[in-house]
Amino acid sequence: MDKTAAFRIDSRQLAQTLYVDLVGRNCQVSDKGVAMAVSAENLARLSFKLAQAFQKVEDDLNAENLPKNQGFTVDAASLEAWSK
């Protein structure tokens, strides 16, 4: 079984956007045809790696804003104690 990490669904859209931009920058269209100096497969792999790196940094930055007391639970007894 493959042990590589699965990509998040939202990274696919970001990777597609990056891919379109990278292809546009590496594609030369002339009257003789279309030429690309870089493999389309390599650009696709790079796009997913860039998207994954971007989202990891985003998650790290957002971690500072997440609640720190995630073990806190609210039950009926807590509500009754607060309403006295």
Is 2 within the bounds of a domain? no
Torsion over CA of 44, 46, 47 and 48, rounded to 10 degrees? 90
Is 39 within the bounds of a domain? yes
Q: What is the pLDDT of residue 19?
A: 95
Is 48 within the bounds of a domain? yes
Average pLDDT, the chain: 85
Is 47 within the bounds of a domain? yes
Residues 51, 11: Cα–Cα separation, whole Å: 6
Q: How many domains does the chain have?
A: 1
Residue 48, pLDDT above cutoff 80: yes
Is 22 within the bounds of a domain? yes
Q: What is the pTM of this model?
A: 0.65
Is 40 within the bounds of a domain? yes
Neighbours of 22 (CB within 10 A): 18
Query: In terms of residue numbers, what domain contains 30?
Result: 9-64
Of 21, 20, 15, the C-alpha closest to 46 is: 15
Is 27 within the bounds of a domain? yes
